[in-house]
Amino acid sequence: MGPDREQSAAGRGRIDMSLLKQCKQRVSDVIEHESGQLHALSQDIWKAPELAYQEHAAHHLLTSFFSSRAWEVQAHYHLDTAFRAQWTSEPSDSPRLHVAFLCEYDALPGLGHACGHNLIAEVSVAAALGLRGALESVHPPRQIQITVLGTPAEEDGGGKVDLIKAGAFEDMDVVFMAHPAQDDAAYLPDIAVHDVTVKYYGKASHAAAYPWEGINALDAAILAYNNISVLRQQMQPSWRVHGVIKHGGVKPNIIPSYTELEFYLRAPSRKDLAELQEKASACFSAAATATGCKVELCSSSHDYYNVLPNKTLAQAYIENGKQLGMQFTTNDQVLNALSGSTDFGNVTFEVPGIHPYFFIGSEALNHTEEYTKAAGSDEAQYYTLRTAKSLAMTALDVIFNPDLLQSIRHDWKMMKQMEEEMNSGIANKARESSSGAGCASC
């Protein structure tokens, strides 16, 4: 066996290392060649930030981009602002392998692209172009389908969960995306989240003349907020609860008859989340009892699940990233910190996938004005395209090395089994503590 032709670990297949190397080089060349267009695409998305499920301009930009490059595009794929663009290599005798890159492109209210979803879209588009370019230059070992899936509404709602329900992930083998952050990391813990809107109904009255006739819904909201603050001391360190008051009354001389709060409840597993949900519901109900208000808890339609790590995919991504000069963080504080939540978590329960984080050339923190600026900066481009190359090269490893794919599938099955054992029996409990079903006004 020559140095460029290695037998894979299980001895079943041979990997043509020189071909793989050539393909990886081609990924880089194609992405560099397209860098101007990719930057323009990401800038156009960044300049016109759109909220969840309303990403019409981004949808148009992305679908036009792929149509003009001879990809088969399905616009408005199950959702108004979702899309699917695909390319398939020449048929071969071996079964087809389907890899997918996921785009996000929604922004945050008042802040624009403060989570850099314009760069998420750019990474996946670039990786798909690079991978297609590489595969067109050779005869891949099997037929490959590349899909770019446009997934709306990550910041609010959970477009990926809608798409899972519509069957969009059913025929995929491995899914890829990457998220802007402060460091390069193949995996950071993204935890499960449940959104709840809390509504208090009281009774208006003149606040000076006959306040005793009123039932104060603002008092209920404040008590609820404080009950949650008190609960926080007894919560697990990995749990998070945070909320805002969306409606706090209208005028000081009218006893507020209606208030509304929105809370996110988070925990590392769905099992813990169900427990947290029960405790938070008790806080909300207690505030209603104390004030005489009526309370309504409205759950959002989709909980996000924690992201299942895949160590084989992570290792392959790290190896490619290092070749490209990435310095992966070894800081335990970063590696163990909670990085929020994502509907990609739900995807990882359907199909093996990777959701690495990447440095964008700035120390700014996500969900700040500074991060919006960084996500639109020229400096972010180098890091964004480097991430795209590393993702596409990892996809090439999966394509060229059947043992790697086996190991990815094995990791995934083990993780999923562990999670499902842990979560068994929670489904009903969680449903009971959120009265979403009985919430007529949501």
Ligand X SMILES: NCCCC[C@H](NC(=O)CCN)C(=O)O
Residues that bind ligand X (CB under 6 A): 115, 155-156, 179, 190, 193, 195, 264, 339-342
First to last CA, the chain: 65
Give the nearest distance from C-beta 407 to ligand X in angstroms: 26
φ/ψ bin of 309: left (φ > 0), alpha (ψ from -120 to 50), beta (otherwise): beta
What is the smallest separation between the CB atom of 339 and ligand X, expressed in angstroms? 5
Q: Which is nearer to ligand X, 44 or 156 (CB)?
A: 156
Of 181 and 393, the one with the shorter C-beta distance to ligand X is: 181
* Type of residue numbered 264: Y
Q: Which is nearer to ligand X, 31 or 107 (CB)?
A: 107
Least distance in Å: CB of 211 to ligand X? 37
Least distance from C-beta 299 to ligand X, angstroms?
11
DSSP readout, 113-174?
STT-HHHHHHHHHHHHHHHHHHHHTS--SS-EEEEEEE---TTTT-HHHHHHHTTTTTT-SE
Of the two residues 249 and 340, which places its CB atom closer to ligand X in the complex? 340
Contacts of 282 (CB under 8 A, 6+ apart): none
Q: How many helices (H) and strands (E) does the chain have?
A: 14, 14
Q: Which is nearer to ligand X, 339 or 387 (CB)?
A: 339
One-letter amino acid of 201: Y
How far apart are CB 243 and ligand X at their closest, in Å? Answer: 12
| Residue number with the smallest Cβ distance to ligand X | 340
Length of the chain: 442
The residues with which 262 forms a beta bridge, in sequence order, are 197, 244
Instruction: Name which of 22 and 331 has its Cβ closer to ligand X.
Output: 331
Q: Which is nearer to ligand X, 216 or 348 (CB)?
A: 348
Q: How far is the CB of 378 from ligand X (least distance, A)?
A: 23
Token readout for 144 is 């490959």
d(CA 305, CA 343): 7
The answer to whether residues 99 and 145 touch, using CB atoms and an 8 Å cutoff, is yes
Q: What secondary structure letter does DSSP report for 72?
A: E
CB of 111 to ligand X, least distance (A): 12
- Decide whether 98 or 179 has the Cβ nearer to ligand X: 179
Least distance from ligand X to the Cβ atom of residue 354, Å: 14
**What CA–CA distance (Å, rounded) separates 182 from 185?**
9
- Quick one: angle between helices 379-400 and 117-136, nearest 10? 40
Residue 79, judged by CB atoms within 10 A of its CB (0-12, 13-18, 19+), counts as buried
Q: How far is the CB of 155 from ligand X (least distance, A)?
A: 5
Strands of the 83-88 sheet, one edge to the other:
72-75, 83-88, 144-150, 97-103, 174-176, 353-354
Nearer to ligand X, 195 or 350 (CB): 195
